[in-house]
Structure 1
Amino acid sequence: MKIQKIEAENFKLFTSNFDKIQDIADSDMILFNGPNGYGKTSVFDIIEFCLTGDIKRISDYSDELAIAKNERFENKILIADESKKSFVKLVLEDDNKEIEICYCYSPSEKRKGVSKENNPHYIFDCFTRTIKCNGETIENEEEYFKSLQLYDIKEIFDKCCFLSQDEHLQFLKTTKKSKAEALAFLFDVPEKWKKEQEKVSNQLDILANKKKKNCYLRELECEEKIKNDEIEKLESKINKLNKESNIIYEKLFNDKEIFWDKENVEFDDISYLNAKQDLDNLLYFAEHKKDCINYNFNRPYENLVQEYNSNPNISYKENPLQYSYMFISLIKQEQDLEEKYRMGKIAGSILQNIQDKHYENLNWTYIKEREWLNVDEIEIIKKQLDLIEKLKKTQGIIQKAMTSLRQSRDNLIRNASEAMDNGVISSNNCPLCGEPFSDRIELDRKIKEETQLLGQLSDNSVIQIEDIIKDIYNNYLKRVEKIFLEILVNSVTDETYQRLQDAKKYKIQILEVEHILEKIGISMNRNVNDSIEDGYNNLLTKLKESLIDISEEVKIQLGRRKFIDYYDRFFDKEEHNFISIDIEKFKNKKMYIENLHYNFYIDEMSKRKNELSNVQTRINKLNSIIKGLQAYQDALKAGIQEYKKKIISDIEPLLHIYTAKILQQKFNGKSIYIHSSENVQDIQFVNSAQDNQDILYSMSSGQLSAVALSFLLCMNQAYGADKACSILLIDDPVQTIDDVNMVGFVDILRYEFGDRQIFISTHEQSFEWFLRYRYSKAEKKVNVFNMKDIMLQE
């Protein structure tokens, strides 16, 4: 596979379309000449970018300059004009197929300015790759790259294919370990070996790594320890039972059918353990009898002890005692408050109709039932209202409006007068038009004048209707209004009523709280002079003082041992039954049961010993397996190390030969050797097999450059020959080695890399002539591109 064409646009200094480098697939040597700064290195960047998706020196610069990945920048590197499309393209030829690899940048519609997207760390993410074969787009690009044997090109590119002019000594100057890591691709062991090594490692991890919870050996050893502990305890219990076997049966609970309290009971494992647990708990309760009684006394009150909560909307669940204290008075007045609330609602509705002069809407049935007006008075009012309706029917549109206006105006004046009396609104401004007046007297006088003026505009029907309404009010409804005002004064507000409804949801609980407090002489009645907070705190203090002190440890034990459940099951919640229990009787009962269960211990001992024997057998077998696996793992490691050393020994002769040819002599009578650690984790270059001093200490910069060139050629020869894209790129070698070294270098390229497509850049005319001369002698084709001429033509 050969490179046929290199193309770019809006990339670095190629602002327009750069497509002059083409038809080069049949060339043995492609030479870029011209002064510095005209794009020779940029062409190498295009090749590297297309093949690897990256430009290594750009990524290295970002790390070396310590550019943070969240740092923001104004512009993107590599792209000349961010508002335009940018791309790099490489066209390859392979068996009459034309393969096009293109990375393209498409500008966003709106430029973001300073952005993290412009960070050099992310520049290559801005480009999208497309691959075409004979003009058809490849969908699965990764699989296609594998089929071309280019899947690992990024890993080997800078070691086997490309020597950059500013990084030619970088590899030689890295640490021993870094060199080994950089050449890790050389030591790829066969996949079968890798899987086998991973398999053995995983097996050992599961079987023998005691740091892991699921380690099989650790589990077995823990099981062994548990079995030994159980056997030791069983032996102790059996010995004790043998010494104390003469225990007489005595029933503890005469009125209850308790399984373990019967005589000569046959226990199985579960029933024995349950009986033992019951007796252990009952013994503990008997030993802490007084604490148990106090615990039982405190229990209903301790749940109530909570500090004051300042939240006015506190719920019963948050603080039962405080909630009960706040609403007990409402609960006790429930019926009275609900009746007052109902009466207030009715009174408010009737009163509103009276004040708005909507007499036709009054609830006459309710007024009659309460005997606030008698039947005759109500009939008179209804006849007067019928007369008003007849007068309204005789009115024209204007007079109807006048009637409605006068009623609305009177209502507004009445409501405004009440507001002024209560100081809600100013008494110096007219409530109808907002005009200011010197005082209330002047305002009332002006309203009266305007009322008289409005009366002059009204006809007789309007005045007659108004007079009837006044008569109804003055003769009958005024006294009814007074009654309803008195009812409203004593009515219940909506807020109080709603609080009552909320409290009724917990009525039973609130009354229960009051009841249990009364048992210990504490009242929840609140002093009218106390705030809720002060009253509650006083109540809480009394409650705390009424509780009996019990140690925290005992309380925890009583909770864990479920004392309340036992108090119910065995003592029927009767304190005198509980007080009468005898500790010695419980101890004797426990020993009696243990004697009955002696055979259980014997059987358990036999089981545990058999289980222990099985566990120990498994441990021995497992240790034998682990030992074999470890030996196998060591053999695999040794084999892999030998494999890696053989790879180094295969490369070393080539490095030895190429270095000698380029330098034209051995260095101080010595050559170059590759020295590695036993496990091939460290690699360095030395000039003596016996001396491990690095060549950096003994060689000049020019000689080191020759070694770098030799190593590139060596790696390309050893590893790049089998790759589909056999290329070799060297950026300006004349900057790093002298003329004598160059002769040997060119001869190596000419005779030993004839099957490679070689790209070289230079700014030295003499080197170009020499290179072309030597290649022409070998009848090899050289394609020369003067980058200065190409760039000036654009």
Structure 2
Amino acid sequence: MIKVKKISLENFKGIKPKTVFHFDIAETHVNILSGPNGFGKTTIFDIIEICLTGEFKRVELFDHVQKKNNNKNKPFFQNTDGENVILKLWVHNSTTNIDHIIIKYYDDGESPTKIDHGRDFIPADARNIFTTYLTTDSTHFTEDNFSTLSPVRQTEINNLFYGVDSTVDLASIYYLFNYIQQADSIYFLRKNEDDKGASLGFLFNIEKEEAEKQKLLELKSNLIRQQTLINQELEQLRKSLPDTQSGDYEKLFKEKDFDFDKEKPFIQLNTAIEQLKSFQDILASLTILKNNFSPDEYEKSIKYKKLNDEVLSNQQILNAILIRNIYTDELIANIEAINSKIGQANNFLQSPNTAFISKEYFDSFLASPEEYTAYAIIERDIKAINRDLGDIGKIISEINSSRNQTLEEFKKIKHTEHVSDTNCPLCDTNFESFEFLEQAINIKTTSLQVYSSEKLQTKTNLEEQIKIFHSRLTESATEFIAANNITEQPVLALLREYSALKEKTEEIFAIYAILGSSGMKAIDFSQSPKTMAEISEKRALLKAFLERDLLSELLYNEQLIDNKQLYVHYFDADRTKFSEITIEMIVAKSQYILGSYAQIANSRLTFLESREQKLSNLLQHITSIYDKVHKSIQEHKVELIEKIKVPFYIYSGKILQSYQQGLGIFVEIHPTGLSNNVRFKTGHSSDHDIVYHLSSGQMAVVSLAFCLSLNKVYNTNENFKFLSIDDPVQTMDDLNIHTFIELVRNEFKDYQIIMSTHDDFTSRYMKYKFDKFEMNTEIQNVQTIVLESTFN
């Protein structure tokens, strides 16, 4: 026998500190959770539910309450954000004497935030974000280090209670056999008749038979689906099957590969019908094209659009057309040379007529080598004189200055006794008298000054000869400027662009012959333009000429070039290829395609007819077997459901008491085509379900009675006899409570029962009654236990 010993919770819902509840004190049969609302009685039932079933049924029922279009900041069950949530359930198996600890762990840092939903922490997703552990080591109940444990699936917990070979899921029976919720204790009674029947299916212990029947049903459904698809395909094939022969294959487009033009245009029949329609549409379009299309008009349209789009609206191309006749490979170099020479001439004209002349000016304006040779000699002589005058003139000036100064000083001291006034103070030469000495110095000074004047006169004569060269060069430069105009830089840039546009320009000239006609003579440049104004003027003339004399000739009829894309795609816009293919050839191709389709369709038709016959025989056999199995199972269910009628009638009557003078509730089952309809009736003349007659309180009592009768009759698990009832007193009056206690203590003495109530008097009364009949009962005040955990 498996019993719940303890539960532990931490940071879960309204309870933050680690809190432990004991349910194994002194062989307790009944535990009553008491205390005011809001302190965690329902929380305890939630912990048992999530640990056993892995679900929050009450949360899932309220899934529709709030929208799921935004993230939530934390799980609804987490008390304090940023801290882990730990739930533990300790159960003991007295048969094997083994303890099992079921752990539900939410790691705030590592656990996922979403599994089945697109947003974080949606309540209906809460059950998925727990990690589940199962261990027999009881130390894990007090310790919170789970690093040595491996996560387990819900199936392992199911196997703990129902055995390894069982297919029963705790979540499928827990809410009928083991738990009546405070929030929705009558959820089962509110289901429709089909859903009630489906929920009771596991009671009949025929899961294997139901599974086999389901396999037969799926097989039957699959066969019917296949038969339907085959019949649909047969009907479609028979309607589309043409009465024609394929004829001989002849390729329409010799240089192209199109699916409709292949020798075998259809590979698979499942796509052949769509292909056939597509091929027929293409051939029909080609026939219309042959009848209506004009290659002449198409070519005019191409020229018209090209002229508009690529020539008239493109200034670069218009400029290139104007330049084409004057452009040579040397043109730009010649223009740049002229521009450079004009600049050189202007620079020379601004220089003084006595300045030395660079050789480049002679090269440009006096090309004779002898001229520059004669000039170079003059320049050399002037430079030599400049050097001499520069050095000798300085020496002469210093000598004369020194002589004059020495002579003046000598005059001052010549009358002293130690100085001879007849000896030269410079060289100590003796003269007859001081006057002769002074005369000799002056003669020498004059001689030096005469030498410097001669050099200057020679330089002046040479400079006059340079002026003659200047004059001749000035005349030549002036004549060159007068004979040539400078070309603007934007014009040069435009000429440089021509090489990149040359190929395109030649293409345009090849297309439009008028560009080489006599009408262009007045427009074309006869020589290289100098200014952008000239180019702009000519460009305007060219544009007007093309619009007047060419564009009007290229006007075309749009109706004669409908479907021009077909002309391009299939015939490469080639009039020769277009004329080679006739309408008769297109008609022959259409007949060939129909014949090819008929050939593949006939083959498929024969195969499908054979397959349909085999399917019909097999389906007839399978249907016969399924009908027998289904009938046997339905009859078996009806027989077994009869067993619950009497206990349920008695239990509901005992607890209801005052309703219908103590009469109970009837349960009926009606087999239908694929399920069993289950209905609860009051027993009087009305055949309506009890949901239309009983109050919510009475419905809760019926739900409780139904749960007890299920446990009594079917006893699905001898190993786990457990009832948890969340505050049954809310919907019972005093008489109901008394009869409920009487029923439980007489019929369910071997069950472990956990129930709750907010009424202290009722909890003490229930303990008194249960204890009186030797069902050990403990009252646990949830408020007191939680507050103790908080303060400790």
Q: Pick the structure with greater CA Rg.
A: 2
Counterpart of 2:297 in structure 1 is 298
Counterpart of 2:11 in structure 1 is 10
Residue 7 of structure 1 deviates from its aligned partner by: 1.2
Rounded to whole Å, the distance in 2 between the matches of 1:610 and 1:125 is 54
User: Residue 137 of structure 1: SS of its match in structure 2?
Assistant: coil
8 Å CA contact 1:732–1:762 kept in 2: the answer is yes
Residue 205 of structure 1 deviates from its aligned partner by: 1.1
Rounded to whole Å, the distance in 2 between the matches of 1:354 and 1:646 is 128
Rounded to whole Å, the distance in 2 between the matches of 1:52 and 1:156 is 9
Counterpart of 1:656 in structure 2 is 649
Rounded to whole Å, the distance in 2 between the matches of 1:353 and 1:756 is 122
Rounded to whole Å, the distance in 1 between the matches of 2:341 and 2:705 is 112
Counterpart of 1:39 in structure 2 is 40
Q: Deviations over 1:244-277 (max 9, x none)?
A: xxxxxxxxxxxxxx999xxxxxxxx99999xxxx
Counterpart of 1:697 in structure 2 is 692
User: Residue type of the partner of 2:42?
Assistant: T
1:138 counterpart (137, 141, 150): 150
Rounded to whole Å, the distance in 2 between the matches of 1:719 and 1:534 is 105
Q: Deviations over 1:187-229 (max 9, x none)?
A: 8663333233222212221221xxxxxx2222233333444x4
Rounded to whole Å, the distance in 1 between the matches of 2:716 and 2:262 is 76
Aligned residues with identical type, % of pairs = 22
User: Residue type of the partner of 1:194?
Assistant: Q
8 Å CA contact 2:300–2:556 kept in 1: the answer is no
Give RMSD over aligned pairs: 6.1
Residue 730 of structure 1 deviates from its aligned partner by: 0.1
CA 1:504–1:565: 2 relative to 1, 3 Å: closer
Counterpart of 2:460 in structure 1 is none
The TM-score with structure 2 as length reference comes to 0.60
Counterpart of 2:104 in structure 1 is 102
Q: Deviations over 1:110-143 (max 9, x none)?
A: x9xxx97466455556654444442541244355
User: Residue type of the partner of 1:169?
Assistant: I
Rounded to whole Å, the distance in 1 between the matches of 2:559 and 2:314 is 25
CA 1:752–1:349: 2 relative to 1, 3 Å: farther
8 Å CA contact 1:149–1:724 kept in 2: the answer is yes
1:193 paired to 2:183: no
Q: Deviations over 1:587-642 (max 9, x none)?
A: 9xx99xx9xx9xxx9x9999999997776565555544455555555556555655
Counterpart of 1:514 in structure 2 is 512
8 Å CA contact 2:213–2:626 kept in 1: the answer is no
Residue 23 of structure 1 deviates from its aligned partner by: 4.6
Rounded to whole Å, the distance in 2 between the matches of 1:88 and 1:354 is 103
Residue 542 of structure 1 deviates from its aligned partner by: 2.9
Counterpart of 1:30 in structure 2 is 31
Give ranges in structure 1 of 5+ residues lacking alignment: 209-214, 239-257, 261-268, 274-280, 310-318, 357-363, 392-470, 572-577
8 Å CA contact 2:41–2:782 kept in 1: the answer is yes
User: Residue 755 of structure 2: SS of its match in structure 1?
Assistant: strand
8 Å CA contact 1:47–1:90 kept in 2: the answer is yes
CA 1:223–1:341: 2 relative to 1, 3 Å: same
User: Residue type of the partner of 1:162?
Assistant: Y
Counterpart of 2:323 in structure 1 is 333
User: Residue 729 of structure 2: SS of its match in structure 1?
Assistant: helix
1:205 paired to 2:225: yes
User: Residue 4 of structure 1: SS of its match in structure 2?
Assistant: strand
Give ranges in structure 2 of 5+ residues lacking alignment: 141-147, 163-167, 253-260, 266-281, 348-357, 388-466, 525-535
CA 1:380–1:70: 2 relative to 1, 3 Å: farther
Residue 729 of structure 1 deviates from its aligned partner by: 0.9
Counterpart of 1:674 in structure 2 is 668
Correspondence list, 1:312-323, <5 A: none
Counterpart of 1:219 in structure 2 is 233
CA 1:622–1:173: 2 relative to 1, 3 Å: closer
1:169 paired to 2:186: yes
Counterpart of 1:68 in structure 2 is 67
CA 1:352–1:371: 2 relative to 1, 3 Å: closer
Q: Deviations over 1:421-461 (max 9, x none)?
A: xxxxxxxxxxxxxxxxxxxxxxxxxxxxxxxxxxxxxxxxx
User: Residue type of the partner of 2:692?
Assistant: Y
Correspondence list, 1:419-438, <5 A: none
8 Å CA contact 1:308–1:537 kept in 2: the answer is no
Correspondence list, 1:16-415, <5 A: 16-21=17-22, 23=24, 27-63=28-64, 65=65, 67-71=66-70, 77-94=76-93, 95=96, 96-106=98-108, 117=120, 120-121=123-124, 127-134=130-137, 135=140, 136-142=148-154, 144-148=156-160, 152-176=169-193, 179=196, 190-208=210-228, 215-227=229-241, 229-230=242-243, 233=244, 291=292, 295-304=294-303, 306=305, 327=317, 329-330=319-320, 333=323, 336=327
CA 1:22–1:561: 2 relative to 1, 3 Å: same
User: Residue 327 of structure 2: SS of its match in structure 1?
Assistant: helix
1:545 paired to 2:555: yes
Residue 760 of structure 1 deviates from its aligned partner by: 0.8
8 Å CA contact 2:31–2:778 kept in 1: the answer is yes
Counterpart of 1:278 in structure 2 is none
CA 1:550–1:52: 2 relative to 1, 3 Å: same
Residue 101 of structure 1 deviates from its aligned partner by: 1.3
1:746 paired to 2:741: yes
8 Å CA contact 1:50–1:103 kept in 2: the answer is no
CA 1:207–1:306: 2 relative to 1, 3 Å: farther
Counterpart of 1:758 in structure 2 is 753
User: Residue type of the partner of 1:216?
Assistant: I
CA 1:288–1:697: 2 relative to 1, 3 Å: closer
CA 1:606–1:703: 2 relative to 1, 3 Å: closer
Residue 299 of structure 1 deviates from its aligned partner by: 3.2
8 Å CA contact 2:11–2:78 kept in 1: the answer is yes
Rounded to whole Å, the distance in 2 between the matches of 1:516 and 1:146 is 95
Paired positions, count: 615
CA 1:570–1:546: 2 relative to 1, 3 Å: closer
Counterpart of 2:433 in structure 1 is none
CA 1:564–1:168: 2 relative to 1, 3 Å: closer
Residue 152 of structure 1 deviates from its aligned partner by: 2.9
Rounded to whole Å, the distance in 1 between the matches of 2:107 and 2:203 is 34
CA 1:371–1:699: 2 relative to 1, 3 Å: same
